[in-house]
Amino acid sequence: MSNVFIALQANEDSRPIVDAILADNPGAVLNEQPAMVKIDVPGRMTIRRSSVEARIGREFDLQEMQVNLISLSGHVDETDEEFTLSCER
Amino acid sequence: MDMNAKKKLGLKEKYALMTRNLGWETTYEPMDKVFPQMDYEGIRIHDWDKWEDPFRLTMDAYWKYQAEKEKKLYAIIDAYAQNNGHLNVTDARYINALKIFLSAVPSLEYNAHRGFARLGREMRGVGPQVACQMQAIDEIRHAQTQIHSLSNYNKFYNGFHDWKHMNDRVWYLSVPKSFFEDACTCGPFEFIIAIGFSFEYVLTNLVFMPFISGAAYNGDLGAMTFGFSAQSDEARHMTLGLEVIKFMLEQDPANLPIIQRWIDKWTWRGVRLLTIVAMLMDYMLPKRVMSWKEAWEVYFEENGMALFNDLARYGIKVPDCAALIKKEKDHISHQAWNAFYTAGMITNFHTWLPSEDEMNWLSSKYPDSFDKYYRPRFEYYRQREKEGKRFYNKTLPMLCQVCQIPMLFTEGDDPTLISYRQIEHKGDKYHFCSDHCQHIFEHEPEKYVEAWLPAHQIYQGNCFAEGADPTAPGFDPLKSVLDYWHLDFGRDNLDFEGSEDQKNFAAWRQQATTN
């Protein structure tokens, strides 16, 4: 199965998002590069609003991620609760 | 950020209201006349409502997050400029990468803006219209932020002074320029495959991730911030490109061969264009994150191929050029630097030979090619430099009629033999760097015979300074061409070693660290 990935700027805003991704996606691999982090997951990656909120202690809109997003791969599906990347839609 | 506003509607509902429900069937004029560009490329669309929106960014959210990105970006750029951040880059040679970036890229972004603004009008479905309009705004933002960020360097270093003028004239800049202009002169569906799919999806990650991460590694916060900020928009653009391709393939099986041809062609054109990024990564970043080859393996061979695997169920095949590309990845960055080093009289940036340490790094990253083919060449050039006979190529290169790159690539199976193709069309000879560029020409000769090839134009006398008289005694053609490009001989070009940039950087850094 191919990987999907997301890359975020390496900063404080991204940290809880990265933690949430690593906790919610078994098989996720964290790759830290200068000024950025890239997370690869085989097949499918889900980012859950509730998981991020549990880490930051406030309401979170998944679209806030746009501010620190660098890039991604795969097919995107976006709802209020989850942001999903998958190899096949 | 104030994120506490309560939502009344879900994301999907809001987005559906903004897109589907804002569209209408026209009655005064038939829809085919309102959207006249939708048919002539042969793409068949039966039901625009089948369009699935990947990102569901509504206008209010779009403005909010883009404004947030801009505030962050300008805060960083201002702080970087205010604190003379340019003196913290690893090595002043790095700044030459930015000269290439400024004279090549913002003009591409601007053309992307124009192309998507056009598509925002021409696309018949409301979903793609909205996505294209947002993309058009993103692209002009990229051009602006790149220009603003790099303008700070123009206060201190040579070669940044007239990037737009150079983009339209300087020989190697016709490569990126013609890439985008050739895309802009396509129909709307081909344009979106060329830019939204091949360029954005398959290739921009290579520019804005490893290269920009490398810029950060070399202390350039300015480039880091505009690069990552731009690529965050590209993430949306990539999903749009992917959606367009799936949508077209699902609409009608007759679309498949047309789309396959476009994918083959624009993947190849994009790969050729990225030759210069390969060189930036391997030769112009003093501190290196990864080699071009490594980046290529991650972002093209792994991610790009995953994408083609996904599209296989629609009948899409991996482009034929993939086999040659795989062989070329060990060579193109070295071949490009060799070409620019020897053309160092006619560049808008400085060139140099890699140090011994850098050559060792290149050997370790390219064990199958560097020591065998390229190190001996650089050692020979170094020997010539020591003897005071620095080698400059005094003639202009033959350019490929399609990608406009000089004939610097070699045969896939023989890195010592220049790859060179020639055909006749209506009594004229045309030259190509590869079978793939030749095939592109053969399919659309009417388009590519129009190419404005800088080397040809110079030899035809069309690129001398205004008012110059080539028949006057003592006329210096090289100097006149540099004048036409607005390049200052001895200041903007030639070796980094001994340049004004090198001296100034050293003096200013000294001032910054002593009393």
Percent of all residues in chain B with a pLDDT value above 70, rounded to a whole number: 98
Q: Tokens 């303008």 label which residue?
A: B151
Instruction: Write down the mean pLDDT value for chain B.
Output: 93
Two tokens, residue B410: 């070699």
* Contact criterion met (CB < 8 Å) for A67 and B7: no
Measure in Å the smallest separation between the Cα of B68 and chain A Cα atoms: 7
The reported pLDDT for the residue numbered B4 is 56
C-alpha–C-alpha distance, residues B194 and B200, integer Å: 8
CA distances from residue B415 to B274, B321, B410, B497 in whole angstroms, order as listed: 19, 17, 5, 30
The reported pLDDT for the residue numbered B411 is 98
Enumerate the residues of chain B whose CB falls inside 8 A of the CB of residue A59. Answer: 3-4
Q: Which domain holds residue A25?
A: 3-86
Q: Is A70 helix (H, G, I), strand (E, B) or coil?
A: strand
The dihedrals phi and psi of A42, each to the nearest 5 degrees, come to -65, 125
CATH at A13 = 3.90.56.10
Q: Which residues pair with B432 in a beta bridge?
A: B421
Residue A2 carries which DSSP code? -
Percent of all residues in chain A with a pLDDT value above 90, rounded to a whole number: 79
Checking if the pLDDT of A58 tops 90, the result is: yes
Instruction: List the single residue in B10, B216, B231 with the smallest CB-CB distance to A80.
Output: B10
The reported pLDDT for the residue numbered B283 is 97
The dihedral built from the CA positions of residue B368, B370, B374 and B380, taken in this order, carries a sign that is negative
For B87-96, B216-225, B349-358, B438-447, which range has the lowest pLDDT when averaged over its residues?
B216-225
C-alpha–C-alpha distance, residues B46 and B357, integer Å: 60
Per-residue pLDDT of B269-316, as tens digits, reads: 999 999 999 999 999 999 998 999 999 999 899 888 888 888 999 999
Domain ranges within chain B, ordered by starting residue:
50-329+475-513
Give B2's pLDDT tier (boundaries 50, 70, 90): low
Mean pLDDT, rounded, for A22-43: 94
Q: Please count the CA atoms within 13 angstroms of the CA of B499 that sit on its side-chain side.
A: 27
Enumerate the residues of chain A whose CB falls inside 8 A of the CB of residue B72. Answer: 67
Mean pLDDT, rounded, for B64-79: 93
* Contact criterion met (CB < 8 Å) for B217 and A35: yes
Give the number of domains in chain A: 1
Residue B396 carries which DSSP code? P
Mean pLDDT, rounded, for B53-58: 78
Checking if the pLDDT of B107 tops 60, the result is: yes
Residues in chain B: 515
C-alpha–C-alpha distance, residues B227 and B149, integer Å: 10
Q: Tokens 């002009």 label which residue?
A: B140
The reported pLDDT for the residue numbered B127 is 86
Checking if the pLDDT of B395 tops 80, the result is: yes
Give B239's pLDDT tier (boundaries 50, 70, 90): confident
- Give the CATH number of domain B50-329+475-513; options: 3.60.15.10, 1.20.1730.10, 1.10.620.20, 1.20.1050.10: 1.10.620.20
Q: A–B: how many Cβ contacts below 8 A?
A: 105
* Contact criterion met (CB < 8 Å) for A71 and B232: yes
Comparing B269 with B201, the larger pLDDT belongs to B269
C-alpha–C-alpha distance, residues B142 and B85, integer Å: 21
pTM: 0.94
The reported pLDDT for the residue numbered B201 is 78
Checking if the pLDDT of B22 tops 80, the result is: no
Q: Which residues are CB-neighbours of B174 under 8 A, at least 6 positions away?
A: B399, B404, B452, B453, B454
Give A89's pLDDT tier (boundaries 50, 70, 90): low
The reported pLDDT for the residue numbered B118 is 97
C-alpha–C-alpha distance, residues B270 and B257, integer Å: 20
